[in-house]
A and B are shown apart, each in its own frame.
Chain A
Amino acid sequence: MTTGEPLIVLDSVNKWFGPLHVLDDVSLSVGRGEVVVVIGPSGSGKSTLCRTINRLEPINSGTITFDGQPLPAEGKALAKLRSEVGMVFQSFNLFAHKTILENVTLGPLKVRKEKPSVARERGLALLDRVGIANQADKFPAQLSGGQQQRAAIARALAMQPKAMLFDEPTSALDPEMVGEVLDVMTSLARDGMTMVVVTHEMGFARHAANRVIFMADGKLVEDAPPTEFFANPRSERAKDFLSKILTH
């Protein structure tokens, strides 16, 4: 899967929220086309880790490199970097005052200055790909959670990103809608998209991930292929975590 230099590199990243050390000397590299699933107990820093990669959370020390370039601090350069990294949120965050199609074409139109006809065509194709082409003219509040999250994935893909970040994309969904979102993510992974996925879906981690990262208390505790991690977790912390979630 991995070819050439890695796409995302975190080196000795530290972050504090006040006295809380949320990211404790985290180093990680993600290759092109690689799917990395980040798991761990609540408050372990996995969402924060995900959000530092497009600098929605600034870091206190260490370096983050994306596609060979250090993350810009702010301004136009940062906006450009963000346009190359798709992000999917736990609470969807679709623009509530815009239709689904407008949500998907907003980035291409306003950030990339694409022609409306081009943006619209790709937008509709993406909505078709995630299976909600017939919802294009509705507003987000008229869709189910699963449909909204699929629209949010289409919105991120419309920017033709080099990588996709997923911050607990199924945690706010009713159980019967989790599958439809995971199906879209699995097909993305199969198509070779570079993905960092924070999730509690162990099934997805098993079948779609190249690597599983286990975090606890802000530290990156384990980094292993899924088969190895689930069969033989090395750390006590991971064993304890897995025993709690897999026995029910």
Chain B
Amino acid sequence: MHVFADPTNFDAYLSGFLWILKLTGASAVFALVIGVLLAAMRVSPVPVLRGFGAAWVNIFRNTPLTLVVFFCYFGLFSTLGLSLAEDLNLNNYWLGVIGLSVYTAAFVCEAVRSGVNTVPTGQAEAARALGLTFAQTLRIVVLPQATRSVVAPFGSILIALCKNATIVGTIGLMESSNVMKDLLNANGDAVIPIFLVFAGTFAALLIPTGYFFGWLANRLAVKR
């Protein structure tokens, strides 16, 4: 453990995981908002919106995340000149958030859409019979019940997002896997311990997350 006893290394380790948490947090919020909107589009009666939602899902769900994140860096930033922050690290961070959000939103959308199918048609019929518009029916009656039924899948998506955040390391952000790579290069005698510490940290973060979402799913379940 002499590697992590060195304060410089330990700080790098901490800041690496801090970047992972920041990437996960911001991307989770954006992916949830975009994903729910996409799901609303995909179940709407408007063909243009349905087509847009379907295209989004088909493009981003079937493209490797590495490619999406690379596009954010080399396409949006290098070629199109989209700069999101003065600081290079912060710029890479926000580019990474864009890539992770648009990618994860596709999975959120499909989870919500499967949740919509668990809501009995009578719920929407009763809402329409009261005089609620389509948007109100979706927002007030259908989506709240649909999202509650997909809390457990949301947990899986969040866990995957957290691990996927390491891919932002490929565009230069010093997140955990980048830190690990540097530590491995500098400490050839401690390869296995370094791996175990990084893997263990992910597990320590994510195993409770999984249990938390399981508990939350039970708590929020709609009783019928």
Contact = CB atoms under 8 A, between A and B. Distances in A.
Interface of A: 54, 56, 76, 79-87, 89, 91, 93-97, 106-107, 110-111, 139, 141-142, 152, 155-156, 159
Nearest 10 Cβ contacts at the A-B interface: A83-B131, A93-B126, A141-B223, A93-B122, A87-B129, A107-B130, A111-B131, A82-B131, A79-B131, A96-B222
B131 A89 contact: no
Nearest to B124: A93
Interface string B206-224: 0000000000000000111
Given A83-B130, A93-B125, A159-B131, 11 more contacts: A79-B132, A85-B129, A87-B129, A89-B125, A91-B122, A96-B223, A110-B132, A111-B130, A139-B223, A141-B223, A141-B224
A106 B132 CA distance: 9
Interface in B126-165: 126-133, 136, 140-141, 144-145, 148
Given A93-B123, A110-B136, A54 B141 contact: no
B126 A111 contact: no
21 contacts: A56-B125, A56-B128, A79-B128, A79-B133, A80-B131, A83-B131, A84-B131, A85-B129, A86-B129, A89-B122, A89-B125, A93-B123, A94-B126, A96-B123, A96-B224, A97-B144, A97-B148, A106-B130, A107-B130, A110-B132, A111-B130
A91 B130 CA distance: 16
A168 to B, nearest CB: 13
A76 B145 CA distance: 24
A69 B56 CA distance: 42
Contacts of B140: 106, 110
Contact of B123 (A81, A95, A159): A95
Interface of B: 120, 122-123, 125-133, 136, 140-141, 144-145, 148, 222-224
Interface of B is mostly: helix
A239 B133 CA distance: 44
A84 B129 CA distance: 9
B122 A97 contact: no
B208 to A, nearest CB: 27
B144 to A, nearest CB: 5
A84 B125 CA distance: 15
B223 A95 contact: no
A83 B132 CA distance: 8
A82 B141 CA distance: 17
Given A91-B122, A96-B145, A155 B130 contact: yes
